Structure 1
Amino acid sequence: MLLEIRPLQRDLNTLVFTDESGNPLSSAVLQRSWNGHTSKINGCEYVCLGVLKELVKKGSLPFYLKPYSTRHTFAIWAITQDVSPDKVAQWIGDKVETVLRYYCHPQVMEADCPDF
């Protein structure tokens, strides 16, 4: 799917995911898309469930997860695939010390991470 929606230009600075104005996604935009929101327009109230809550409601997902869960899952997956902690820290925007503390403990290294 990502290959299908990637920009046609090979410019590494071109964003794949943007807001309505073409700007980088902010955490506020992610939260609204993930969790949903309520808007009032001309006195009418509109409710958008959000992507994850809607999938849970339809039964496509067994339970709701916070956005942080995807970051945590990705970091653990990368560590179990032998990606170096400094590279994982760079990818998730964190410190190497934090990656070592929370994602490199023995239980993580011995566990099989599912292939999604």
Structure 2
Amino acid sequence: MEYARRLLKGKKYTQDSLIPFVVLVIGSFGGVAEKREVDEKMYKILEEEFSDNICHQTVAHDVPRWRHDIAWAKERAKQIYSYVKSAEESGRGIWELTEKGKKYYDELINYLESSTTVIRRKKNA
């Protein structure tokens, strides 16, 4: 999953730019994960981006901004793109990909694997 950081292309993240990461992380758990698992794995992947002091400032209910941003990225993935099921469908605290989300996950994996192959070929050439 470390190579997935390339999706940010050297920019600071936004809630929208976190959507592919949310989908990739949920997909890495087989399409269903607890919110806590998603938060932990996303922090490991994006530790550099989340290391800014502002990301650790708390927002509503003493939640660190980076966790808040992940939750909003999931909400946007659900509401705008229909990649993630609602809590009514999956259960509270469970994040699950829809069929559309699973297709998007496969597209992301294919894109990342093909770009990794190109990078490896260039290094070996």
* Greater C-alpha Rg: 1
Report the TM-score, using the length of structure 1 for normalisation: 0.28
Higher relative contact order (CA 8 A, sep 6+): 2
What TM-score, normalized to structure 2?
0.26
Larger helix percent: 2
